[in-house]
Amino acid sequence: MRIDEHWVHHPRGRLFARSWTPANGSSAAPIVLLHDSLGSVELWRDFPSALAEAASRRVVAYDRLGFGRSDLREGVMPLDFIADEASSFLPVVLEQLGIHRFIVFGHSVGGGMAVHCAAELGARCEALITESAQAFVEDRTVQGLRAAREQFKEAGQMQRLARYHGDKAPWVLEAWLGTWLSPAFAAWSLADVLPRVQCQVLALHGSEDEYGSARHPEMIGRLAGGPTRVALLEGAGHMPHREQPAQVLALTVAGMAGPCLAAN
């Protein structure tokens, strides 16, 4: 396994990226990982390496601006930040890393970003995998966020977040909770963009996800324009790639191998 680190130069700041290339890797399209609201390259832990081996493909992950080792993002997170990642940031990452065709795998809010990426970049995106993605703002989502806000008042929580984001940790937390709990964000949805997704889609979701019910993957499966498969992982919460890694890897590899079964 070859592991490389990269710095992507964006007009708004530098982005840190890492890639995993297996020894048996082919020339097939690489997999690009998009992290969750508190995530980073490091917080993917050993999943990218395991995915690269299982899929025999290069895997790339990057820290979004304001997260991990990437540069600080100034100001309040704009309400269109999910769509903006697809139009403003991912194309720059792909260009500077020499990637044309790709597969996109997004976790949580990264799943919503992945949907926009598949829609915006069209035929360049060979497959879309969402894991624990929110497709709209559900009461269960809001309840989970409010519980998380209380948890972050406990001693040591912010210090743990700072291990991965440094002095950007307070901004990272507010970018998550402040945005998703804002009344101005309550009407956000993937409903309009999903029909523009024409590649095959695999929507993974834990049955016990504290931030969203099965209505989210069902909506992705129902509205996506390409062939879709919805997989509900029994007993898994919001982090299936940590809780049930073998199953997530198997489903992901199978989802990239051929057309998905229609879920609707």
pLDDT tens digits, 91-120: 999 999 999 999 999 999 999 999 999 999
pLDDT, one tens digit per residue, over 70-90 is 999 988 999 999 999 999 999
Domains of the chain: 2-257 (3.40.50.1820)
Phi then psi dihedrals of residue 102, to 5 deg: -155, 165
Q: Where are the beta strands (DSSP E) in 51-183?
A: 59-62, 102-107, 125-131
Q: Please, which pLDDT band fits residue 258 given cuts at 50, 70 and 90? A: low
Q: For 148-201, what is each residue's pLDDT tens digit?
A: 999 888 888 899 999 999 999 999 999 999 999 999 999 999 999 999 999 999
CA distance 17 to 152: 27
Instruction: Tell me the per-residue pLDDT of 226-256, one tens digit each, with 9 for 90 and over.
Output: 999 999 999 999 999 999 999 999 999 998 8
**How is the chain split among helix, strand and coil, in percent rounded to 5?**
45, 20, 35
Q: CB count, 10 Å around CB of 86? A: 23
What is the SS3 assignment for 17? strand
* pLDDT for 38 beyond 50: yes
Q: Name the pTM for this structure.
A: 0.95
Reduced 3-state DSSP string for 2-57: EEEEEEEEECCEEEEEEEEECCCCCCCCCEEEECCCCCCCHHHCCHHHHHHHHHCC
Confidence class for position 264, pLDDT limits 50, 70, 90? very low
Residue 264: both structure tokens together: 């609707």
- The pLDDT of residue 256 is 82
Residue pair 252/233 in contact (Cβ under 8 Å)? The answer is no
pLDDT at 262 over 50: no
Predicted confidence at residue 74, as pLDDT, reads 87
Asked if residues 37 and 185 have their Cβ atoms less than 8 Å apart, the reply is no
Which tokens belong to 170? 């307070």
